[in-house]
Amino acid sequence: MIESVACPAIRKVRAECHTGQARVMAALVAERRPDRPVPPMAGTAAIGDGN
């Protein structure tokens, strides 16, 4: 993953993967704990911003 920063196409795919992982993580937490709202940045904070 570290070497991928040199290629724009790979950076794009990497960012999309990180975004998807963050959404899945946020959805799982929201499903598991409906009594606790998930902040919009929770998944991104846990996974990274994809950059």
Cβ 21 vs Cβ 8: under 8 Å? no
Cβ 26 vs Cβ 1: under 8 Å? no
Measured between alpha carbons, how far is 2 from 7 in angstroms, rounded to an integer? 11
0.75 exceeded by the pTM? Answer: no
Q: What is the pLDDT of residues 9-45, one digit of tens each?
A: 888 888 888 888 888 887 888 888 888 877 767 767 7
pLDDT at residue number 49: 59
- The token pair at 3 is 């070497």
Measured between alpha carbons, how far is 36 from 17 in angstroms, rounded to an integer? 26
